[in-house]
Amino acid sequence: MKQSQPNTQNIYSQAAVDAFTKLNPQSALQNPVMLLVWLGIIVTLILTITPNLFGEIPSQNPRLFNGLVTFILLVTIYAGNLGEAIAEAQGKAQANKLRSLKSETIAKKLAADGTITEVPSNTLQRGDTVYVVAGDIIPADGEVILGVGSVDESAIIGESAPVLKESGSEVASSVTEGTRIISDELIICVTADPGQGFIDRMIALMEGETRRKTPNEMALQAFLAVMALIFLFVVVTLPAFAFYLQLPISATILVALLVSLMPTTIAALFNTISIAGIERIANSNVIANSRDAERCVDVNTLVIDKTGTITLGNRLAEDFIPINGHSQSEVAALAMAASVFDDTPEGKSIIRLADKLGAKIDFDPQRCEAVYFSTSTRMSGTNLPNGSQVRKGALVAIKKFVADQNQKLSPEVNIACERVALQGGTPLVVCLDGEIYGIIYLKDIVKPGIRDRFYRLQRLGIYTIMVTGDNTTTAGVISREAGIDDFIAEATPEDKITVIRQQQAAGKLVAMTGEGNNDAPALAQANIGLAMNTGTQAAKSAAKMVDLDSDPTKFIDIVAIGKQLLMTRGALTTFSITNDIAKYFAILPILFTTLNLGRFNLMQLSSTNSAVLSVLIYNAIAIFCFIPLALRGIKFRPMSANQIFQSHLLIYGLGGAIVPFVAIKLIDIAVTAVGLA
């Protein structure tokens, strides 16, 4: 959501408190590494109270040492909790802002007999009809079924410009709860039951109510569990080895060794990375979860609808082009007659343009028969009282209609349609019975900056296919202007599904963006469906994700967030594992000094106790230091998997191997100086 950021100081203060409440071993049951840390805390706490529980271990002030280890391990747990608490607090702060939009309002419920009853907005059910006038808060998600009005959606999408909403439009009839109508009046059919609206879904997403682990998360967690078990086995076998060599090792040092060698950095920040990723998705104005974002990373093909996604979607009549010896006024009058029953924005724009040119109809519409547009006929019109048939539609459809009237088609029609198509417009042919009078030039505009966005998709290795009902020439012009890889023209809704299935059969992971009712089946068929918020309820219900900004290239941002999640986990995992090198050299050589391993004590640490405390303190500090990275994620740049691996190996692998040597030595000096070891 593009809203003002919540108070950062309040977030951190609340997170600091919440991190303490999370100091509960039960919260670590799903994290095997942190669960072992908790078990270690229990052991060291018992040894703090009863140092000789497992036998006499020669040591100076064992209670102090055991107590310090217990405290540092608690701080380690707290560090991980703090990152998670900050991520959750940020999400809850945004959710609270959204919740404020849901403050209970009084809705004007419209009954079947036309009477209006004022009811609380939270009692509205799917299928109810409400009436709103200028100044009213829209009480529920819905579709405009009557009227035209401007709606302020800035609270939802962050854009201050009002959005025109009207009935009969596939791209401008959807309204969202919490927005405000600022002009005219609307009658709205409610499309969501209480608690199921867009704001409710976004709140649930930000508060983690619908969160499930992704396959990548489960795989990484399984890997961490295996590593934890390996190190546990190593540490458990050490006492027998030490007994054979007559080297006393306390249980506290064994616990410290286990915690130090396990990948605690990534384990502690595991949930933080995922929760922060969900928040970044929400802040991109997309209703989705981390599972879908990570699946987008593997998408090979993006199938895109043209109208309303690549273009602005409000195709309007630009001109009437006469042919076959007819005049522009004749074409305008016939176009108006064909559009009398057309309640779409296109139909209304045709009537407005014809009226502007002085065209009139010379018949009573109530005595006429309406012929509505369908995807199978691809034309609409009016059957006049005198038996004449006025039609407007795609060239292919009108050709068939004219042929059925046993009339011949003039070559001039093809030339005129081609000229309109070459300008990126959509030609509608107008005819009376079997005679073609002219062309309606419908103009649509490619969304600004979309070519650069599609270029970025290509750099990500995603193949783009535009599917449109327009003719081949128009589709070609639009696809070249937008930078689309391929296009399919004169397509039906079934063709969209066929394209997706063909790509899936070839082993591709397919994403689809769309916003109309005819896009819903394809959105459901695709592996990932991204519906535009300006689209219909059917499209948004069929899709797995909804973009509140209605930007078809928002897919780029979702892919980037998904890659960020993977890269951040990969980087911290690499760092955690390479850290072990320094920790080995910090603890093991000084632990087995009698085996002449002193030459491996590269850091020249002061004592065994100092080495253990220094490593544990470093471990906790590292988690604190990586909290900002876990929250914001690694900056994504389009590059190959091999380049990403090399970059991580150089920065986090080499850094993870070198930094601990310096840090642990400095901590050892400080620990020795204050007399803790």
What average pLDDT does this structure show over 165-172?
Answer: 64
Residue holding tokens 């035209």? 148
Q: With cut-offs at 50, 70 and 90, classify the pLDDT of residue 103.
A: low
Q: What is the mean pLDDT of residues 628-643?
A: 78
pLDDT digits (tens, 9 = 90+) for 568-610: 888 898 888 888 777 777 776 666 654 555 555 666 777 778 8
What is the pLDDT averaged over residues 507-520? 83
What is the chain's mean pLDDT, rounded? 81
Residue 387 predicted with pLDDT over 60:
yes
More confident residue, 157 or 407: 407
Percent of the chain residues topping a pLDDT of 90: 12
Average pLDDT of span 182-202: 80
* Per-residue confidence (pLDDT) for residue 589, from 0 to 100: 67
Nearest to 316 by CA among 276, 346, 285, 295: 346
Give phi and psi for 531, each to the nearest 5. Answer: -95, 150
Asked if the model's pLDDT at residue 257 lies above 80, the reply is yes
What confidence tens digit (pLDDT) does each residue in 517-559 have? 778 888 888 888 888 776 777 777 788 788 877 776 777 788 8
Q: How large is the average pLDDT for residues 277-297?
A: 74
Question: Which candidate, 192, 176, 291, places its Cα nearest to that of 534?
Answer: 176
Segment (H or E) for 547: strand 545-547
The structure tokens 């670590």 sit at 28
Higher per-residue confidence, 451 vs 196: 451
Average of per-residue pLDDT across 244-251: 73
Q: What is the mean pLDDT of residues 164-188?
A: 76
161 pLDDT above the threshold of 70? no
Mean pLDDT, range 9-38, rounded to an integer: 83
Which residues make beta-bridge pairs with 431? 391, 436
Q: Answer whether residue 621 shows pLDDT above 90.
A: yes
Q: Pick the catalytic residue: 141, 305, 557, 580?
A: 305
Q: Reduce the DSSP state of residue 120 to 3 states and report it.
A: strand
* pLDDT of the residue at 4: 46
Model confidence at 336, pLDDT cuts 50, 70, 90, reads: very high
Residues in the chain: 677
Q: Domain residue spans in the chain? A: 8-95+206-281+559-673, 286-312+446-548, 316-443
| CA distance linking residue 76 with residue 265, whole number of Å | 9
Mapped onto helix, strand or coil, the DSSP state of residue 440 is strand
In angstroms, rounded to a whole number, what is the distance separating the alpha carbons of residues 374 and 2? 38
Task: Give the lowest-confidence range in 203-212, 271-280, 363-372.
Answer: 203-212
CA distance 83 to 96: 20
Amino acid at 39: L
Predicted local distance difference test score (pLDDT) of residue 56: 53
Angle at 125 between CA 540 and CA 171, to 5 degrees: 30
For residue 467, the SS3 value is strand
Q: What is the pLDDT of residues 232-247, one digit of tens each?
A: 888 888 777 767 766 6
Q: Is the pLDDT of residue 308 over 70?
A: no
What is the rounded CA–CA span in Å between residue 172 and residue 550?
A: 11
- 305 is a catalytic site residue: yes
User: pLDDT value at position 593?
Assistant: 55
Helix 62-101, helix 32-49: angle, nearest 10: 140
What amino acid is encoded at 589 in this protein?
P
Among 36-45, 284-293, 309-318, name the most confident range: 36-45
What global pTM score does this model have?
0.69
Query: Quick one: pLDDT band at residue 3, thresholds 50, 70, 90?
Result: very low
Rounded Cα gap, residues 668 and 615, in angstroms = 9
pLDDT of amino acid 402 = 87
SS3 for 14-77 is HHHHHHHHCCCHHHHCCCHHHHHHHHHHHHHHHHHHCCCCCCCCCCCCHHHHHHHHHHHHHHHH
Buried-state track 231-270, b at ≥16 Cβ within 10 A, e below 16: bbeebeebbeebeeeeeebbbbbbbbbbbbbbbbbbbbbb
> Residue 322 has what pLDDT?
92
Q: Which CATH architecture has domain 316-443?
A: 3-Layer(aba) Sandwich (3.40)
Domain 286-312+446-548 identical in fold to domain 316-443: no
User: What mean pLDDT is predicted for residues 345-362?
Assistant: 87
pLDDT in tens, 264-278: 889 899 888 888 887
CB 317 within 8 A of CB 353: yes
Superfamily name with CATH number, domain 286-312+446-548: HAD superfamily/HAD-like (3.40.50.1000)
